[in-house]
Amino acid sequence: MPEKITLTVIKADIGGWVGHSSVHPRLIETARKTLAESDLLVDFHVTHVGDDINLIMTHRRGVDSPEIHHLAWNTFLRCTEVAREMKLYGAGQDLLSDAFSGNVRGMGPGVAEMEFEERKSEPVIIFMADKTEPGAWNFPLYKMFADPFNTIGLVIDPKMHQGFRFEVYDLIENKRVIFSLPEEMYDLLVFIGAPGRYCVKAVYSKATGEIAAVSSTQRLNFLAGRYVGKDDPVCIVRCQSGLPAVGEALEPFAHPHLVAGWMRGSHMGPLMPVSLAQATPTRFDGPPRVVALGFQLANGKLIGPQDLFADVAFDQARRIANEIASYLRQLGPFEPHRLPLEDMEYTTLPEVMARIKHRFTKITPGAEKEVAAAREELGAK
């Protein structure tokens, strides 16, 4: 039996250069050097999107391996030391604990990983986003694995025609549920249409039972009890041979959808597909960006990457995203550009509410006369 390979992607924001726009080359080099010193990995690739460092690793130790997670944690700690030396912004902000405790889940970094047997050909796409939250993957994963207008393989590929199972997490109550598609499509949409709470964690093939996609689902504001930025999620998608073709996996991003995040994690904006060279969000610290790196796995080796959104075919998507961004920016602090109040819990809202709550009075029958009298009195003064 072929030995299984584990593909692990762990990301963290441990210091922005300049502000929240990018990662200093010294941090990337520190991360590469740290991973190269380890004998735990089959292969690795270090990159960044915006101000997030992304560690893409292959190994044979399975999902949630304490050794692999500890390696990533130590890598981020070393990078944090360099970030503090250079006084980079928000140095170590995604590291919410002082000590490693088995794995990095719940400690700040975002994690997406899967274990599987390599097929005869194993193309994978690593999607990495900045200035948004885990729910940003809901729409594209639905399009990839459930929408025949996006993925024609659902109609004409016998290996895909049975559909897929979607594992959905409730980030508020820490629960999960699995939906079988296409028969439970409408039930699924009830939940994943609310991406601030419900996130697609993983997708499985009904034909083979194999995992097809997995995402990170950490929400830093819930973990920290205060606002420390959105979560800049990552997602792994396997492609071809009974799974969406590479082009089908990329197609959802040709029409930018709105996601939460952007400036101070408190605004809606279009998710713009960009090349690595364009993954430096600066306009109002945005708009939100997504990068897609394609690899061929060969006995655990990462052959690549190919910078998939560098294609000129996505120029139109970037133009549309910029138009949407300009429209939304005109709304300033008004919804729907600014997030609803329930999503502003870790900003100034609680402090302002506590300060003026005594000024709110109950509206009762006949109150209109009291208000009118008060107005007359103010007018007389």
DSSP string, 201-231: EEEEETTT--EEEEE----HHHHHSS-----
**pLDDT for the residue numbered 257:** 98
Query: What is the separation of C-alpha 245 from the centre of its chain, rounded to a whole number of angstroms?
Result: 22
The burial class, CB within 10 Å (0-12 / 13-18 / 19+), for 198 is: buried
Assigned token pair, 163: 């559909």
Query: What pLDDT is recorded for position 140?
Result: 98
Regions in the chain scoring below 50 on pLDDT = 220-221, 223-230
The pLDDT value recorded for residue 228 is: 43
Residue 36 makes CB contacts below 8 A (sequence gap 6+) with: 44
pLDDT recorded at residue 99? 54
* pLDDT number for residue 44: 98
Segment holding 323, helix H or strand E: helix 315-329
- Active-site residue (options: 64, 147, 227, 346): 227
Q: Is 227 a catalytic residue?
A: yes
Q: Annotated catalytic residue: which of 11, 13, 142, 343?
A: 13
State the pLDDT at residue 370: 67
Q: Which of 278, 302, 300 is CA-nearest to residue 291?
A: 278
pTM over 0.85: yes
Nearest to residue 106, comparing CAs of 208, 7, 220? Answer: 220
Catalytic residue among 230, 231, 285, 307: 230
- Give the model's pLDDT for residue 226: 45
Amino acid at 13: D
Indicate the burial class of 174 (C-beta count within 10 angstroms; 0-12, 13-18, 19 or more).
exposed
Q: Tell me whether residue 142 is one of the annotated catalytic residues.
A: no
The pLDDT tens digits for 67-103 are 999 999 999 999 999 999 999 998 887 675 555 555 5
Using left for φ > 0, alpha for ψ between -120 and 50, and beta otherwise, residue 364 falls in beta
Rounded distance, CA 238 to CA 354, Å? 49
User: Per residue in 227-275, pLDDT tens?
Assistant: 444 469 999 999 999 999 999 999 999 999 999 999 988 999 999 999 9
**Is 230 a catalytic site residue?**
yes
